[in-house]
Amino acid sequence: MLAETICSAASAAGLGIAAVTAYRKRFLPAPRIAAYSLVPVGLVLTGVVEWVAGIAFKPSIWLGFGVLGLSWLLFMTTRAVERRSGTTRAERKAARAAGRNEAVAPAASAPSLGAGGTAGPAAAAKPQAQPKPKKKEEAAAPGDDFSDIEAILKKHGI
């Protein structure tokens, strides 16, 4: 009852302000003010005010709002951690897919880590022919590995 009276008084005051605004020849804001001032009366007539007053004094309703707030807080916290880590959903999905694939050596024709150590049927059907390296490349291959290591050590001053 008190809420309905307050809403009616607020609407009456708003309509008075709209009338004064229209009297001052400000015709664009006057109907807007009148529209805002009619909202409280509309809420009273539809029963929304009674519904809000009914839930305002029930502890179970406030407990529900608390649970909703907690869920929102958890959601925002996980989003912040996700952004801080710099990974996106697509990156995590690609990492999971890569983790499921079997490990393959760069020049291997079959997976090096597999169940039972056998190559798959595709590898058995198509053996890949490795081109034979030249003698100069064979001699340079071990040196290339060490030159990379030497460059790294020199970079760090070792």
* pLDDT tens-digit series, residues 53-110: 888 878 888 898 899 999 999 999 988 888 877 677 787 788 788 877 655 555 556 5
Residues whose CB is less than 8 angstroms from the CB of residue 105 and which lie 6 or more positions away in sequence, other chains included: 112
Indicate the pTM of the whole model: 0.40
Phi, psi (degrees; rounded to nearest 5) at 119: -80, 155
In the numeric block, the tokens 């053996």 are attached to: 127
d(CA 103, CA 63): 51
94, two tokens: 């690609």
20-55 pLDDT, tens digit each: 999 999 989 999 999 999 999 999 999 988 888 888
d(CA 78, CA 112): 38
